[in-house]
Amino acid sequence: MTAFDPDEISESNIVRQRFYPAEIGQNKAVTAIQRMNVYLGTDWDAHPDRVEQIGNSIVTHYDLVIGCVDSVSARNTIAGHRDKASWRTTLYLDLGNGSHTGQVVLGHLGIRDQPFVLPIVQDLFPEIADAEEEDDAPSCSAAESLMRQNFGVNRTMATMAANLLWNLLTTPGIDHHGYFIDTRTGQINPLRIDPALWASLAGRSFDDWLVKAA
């Protein structure tokens, strides 16, 4: 397990993430991973670096990449590694959310020479690759942070992502590879493994997936 994050813990993080006032100013990745290693006896690594470090000499291969990022450029940087030879079987789990809605999408980053390939979030929502960077400046206070994002949306996203990985690892197969979530209405809808559904979301044909699915 390797975590990447260049950001420092701020006051606004305390109300939405599992950090504490005494940790303000410390690096997020290093703080979180050190805590896990102490509590659980693990030997995980942390790097206070940007996601662009993925794929370099620090680590040459990942079985699973989990993206919990709030910028278009970071999300597209991960997708930009999809055809690396060392990532042929790598899965990419993307978590993205707004104030009260979000999606969890599990797909393949690897080269498309496998019997069946799941699309990643950029395949289903091509507008992500072309989107302009939003204003993701950190909130200056805990109160502002709460106003910008509904309480519990981060936890809900993380729980559903963990549930998907649990099913993937402990059952013979899965019939969905993600979720669409709305904490305001209480709705959680599965993203079915269905090329016709993928085509309706992306607004384009998924003939390559249709052939493989058949």
Residue type, 1: M
d(CA 138, CA 85): 36
Tell me the C-alpha distance between 66 and 96, whole Å.
11
Name the residue among 98, 123, 96, 87 with its Cα closest to residue 200: 123
Residue 175: which of 155, 193, 149 has the closest Cα? 193
Residue 6, pLDDT above cutoff 80: yes
Question: Which DSSP string do the residues of 163-213 spell out, in sequence order?
Answer: HHHHHHHHSS--SEEEEEEETTTTEEEEEES-HHHHHHHHTS--HHHHHHH
Mean pLDDT (whole number) for 191-214 = 74
Which among 79, 131, 77, 84 is positioned nearest to 105, based on CA atoms? Answer: 79
Query: What is the residue-wise DSSP string for 60-84?
Result: S--SEEEE----HHHHHHHHTTTT-
Phi, psi torsion values for 169, nearest 5 degrees: -85, -20
Q: Please identify which residue in the block is written with the tokens 């669409």.
A: 180
Q: What is the pLDDT of residues 90-110, one digit of tens each?
A: 889 999 888 888 899 999 887
Going by C-alpha positions, the residue among 182, 189, 191 that lies closest to residue 153 is: 182
Q: How far is CA 8 from CA 31, 134, 137, 180, 201, in A?
A: 9, 20, 13, 29, 36
Residue 137 pLDDT > 70, yes or no?
no
Q: Does 23 have pLDDT greater than 90?
A: yes
- Span 185-207, mean pLDDT? 86
Rounded to an integer, the average pLDDT of 120-129 is 85
**Stated pTM of the model:** 0.83
**CA distance linking residue 22 with residue 172, whole number of Å:** 44
